Structure 1
Amino acid sequence: MAITETAEPPESATAPLRQRLGGFLRAYREFLSPSDVGLPHTPRRRTKGLRREEVAALSGVSVAWYTWIEQGRVDTSRQVLDSVARALRLDEAAHRHALALAGFAPASEGWDTSYDPNLRAVLDGWPDSPALLLGPALDVLAWNSAYATLWPDPADVPEDRRNLLLLLVGDARHQRALPGWEPVAIDLYRHLRTRADRRPKDEDFRRLTERLRSARPELDAWWACRSIGDFASRTVDVVPADGTPPRAYGMTLLLAPQPQDAAILVMTPTRTEPTDQPSPDAPGSGAPRP
């Protein structure tokens, strides 16, 4: 079957989105090795990852067209993008993200920081399960009393610093409360990138990334990484703020209807042995895979 390279530009396939799509695909291309896709590896190979012509051949498109996609110069058909996704071995989340960047999924501009007051009642309905309502940029919008008892109380944090990711990577009290904070932070950042890449004109994500770089410049590989994905539920060991022994909680991120891309982070007490395992895509080195 012939693959149609040209396409009517999707409404949301703006130049900034095309650039992000190109960078996203390039990161995955450079991460793959020839053996990953059944190609022989030559000893004098200089290219990091796959060559563009190899991806083009595997996708069934011309080298020039695939090059233009990576360079953000063209809109392309969904058929081509599906084929490229298969060639690059994109998982479901990465495939959806690539389609969104190409304009084949709805995307709105800007974060809505308001939230449905009924969501506060949802949080308060969990007296034994610490919970946070998080905005699209992971700002802490609301919390329940169980959270303030277990963790450092967000009320004691200046409002402009009430961001879960910023607190996890830059606040000693939060790191003491969650000794295994790194895999959680990695997954939260991947979750955030999944949403933020679809809003290239939004400044909140850029400002947050700048603050993260300022707080932990040695983790710049995290902030520069193009890895995306949904947050993986896990069991974590939390050290209560009152100094009592650590407790095990199941940590889950639930998507909330308002504001768009907001979420509820809920921690359910568990009697299982406490562990803190990273998501399957998070490497042991501490840096997320591209």
Structure 2
Amino acid sequence: MATTAGTTTASTDLRQRLGGFLRAHRERLSPGDVGLPHTSRRRTSGLRREEVAALSGVSVAWYTWLEQGRVDTSRQVLDAVARALRLDDAAHRHALALAGFAPVAADRTASYDPDLRAMLDSWPDSPALLLGPALDILAWNRAYAAVWPDPADLPEERRNLLLLLVGDERHQRVLPDWEPVAVELYRHLRTRADRSPEDESFRRLTGRLDAARPDLAAWWACRSVGDFAPRTVELTPEGAHTPRTYGMTLLLTPRPQDTSILVQTPHAAPGPR
């Protein structure tokens, strides 16, 4: 597969798969979905090819050939087709991959109120994380990096609390009794996912969890939901041998941010008797 002047030369198989992918999405849309009037004379479901072509700024013949897998495309034109078909981020990346382009990286730059980061930094002794709706790690304080593996040392795509708890040995050494926490976090995640069915990040995370720990398939298939309850946990900071007791609480921030803060407050050591 070659890429020249912004256009790829894909294999016949990939061109046909791309065409079938675009056709399936075209057939799912109604005229009203894209702001077009509905007429009673429509004999096929979904949008017509000429409608997608007009919305994309290409000729009907060329768009027809694209669906038939007969032509290569530029990234600019495929982006326009993706917008016309209302593809979400995951579908857009998949279309680009089929066309031979490097997929668009998922936008992991989440905006959040800087006061939330300031709140984390105001807790010098309490490890704390700022989490996105799908439990992606957005920010952390120094106390967290002193106890847990520093998220700064991880690639951004791995900075997900649930993925790290179920699949990373360093995190499991800090929290040996990690399973109850992970189960409760997943139940919390399912609650949020059901409230935002249009958010693809939840579905993507479940797929990543299933790939990372297929032995926990019963967890990922479970539809149980619930709020994360405060608990007491034993954490053994990295490089230490003696566990310490912490209270772990998940604080929810108000919409539209829809983030949460996981804070671990150290319990005072018992005094001498």
Equivalent positions of 1:110-259 (< 5 A) are 113-257=110-254
CA deviations 1:130-164 (Å, max 9, x no partner) are 00000111000000000000000000111011000
Gaps of 5+ in 1: 1-110, 274-290
The 1-side partners of 2:111 and 2:255 are apart by 8
Query: Please, which moves more after superposition, 238-247 or 132-141?
Result: 238-247
CA distance in 2: counterparts of 1:124 and 1:259, whole angstroms: 22
**TM-aligned CA deviation for residue 244 of structure 1:** 3.8
After superposition, the Cα gap between the structure-2 partners of 1:262 and 1:253, relative to the gap in structure 1 and judged at 3 Å, is same
Q: Is the 8 A contact 2:112 2:257 kept in 1?
A: no
Answer yes or no: is the 8 Å Cα contact 1:115–1:259 preserved in 2. no
- Per-residue CA distance 1:228-256 (angstroms, 9 max, x = gap): 00001000000101224111100000011
Q: Among residues 255, 259, 262, which one is paired with 1:262 in the alignment?
A: 259
Q: CA RMSD in A?
A: 1.7
Instruction: Classify the secondary structure of the residue corresponding to 2:173.
Output: helix
1:202-226 CA-to-partner distances (Å, cap 9, x unmatched) read 2101110000000100101000000
- Secondary structure of 1:229's partner? coil
- State the alpha-carbon separation in 1 of the partners of residues 165 and 266 from structure 2: 20
Distance in 2 of aligned mates of 1:207 and 1:252: 25
Q: 1:259 to 1:154 in 2, by over 3 A?
A: farther
Report the count of equivalent residues.
Answer: 163
SS in 2 for 1:142: strand
Aligned partners of 2:196 and 2:241: how far apart in 1? Answer: 43
Partner SS, residue 197 of structure 1? helix
Query: Does the 8 A contact of 2:230 with 2:249 survive in 1?
Result: yes
| 8 Å CA contact retained: 1:116, 1:258 | no
Given the two structures, how large is their TM-score scaled by the length of structure 1?
0.54
Query: How far apart are 1:122 and its partner, in Å?
Result: 0.2
Identify unmatched segments of 5+ residues in structure 2: 1-107
Rg comparison, structure with higher value: 2
Match of 1:15 in 2: none
**Relative contact order (alpha carbons < 8 A, sep ≥ 6): 1 or 2 greater?**
1
Deviation at 1:272, TM superposition (A): 7.2
Q: Which amino acid aligns with 1:159?
A: E
Q: 1:77-92 to 2 correspondence within 5 Å?
A: none
Pairwise CA distance, 1:199: 1.9
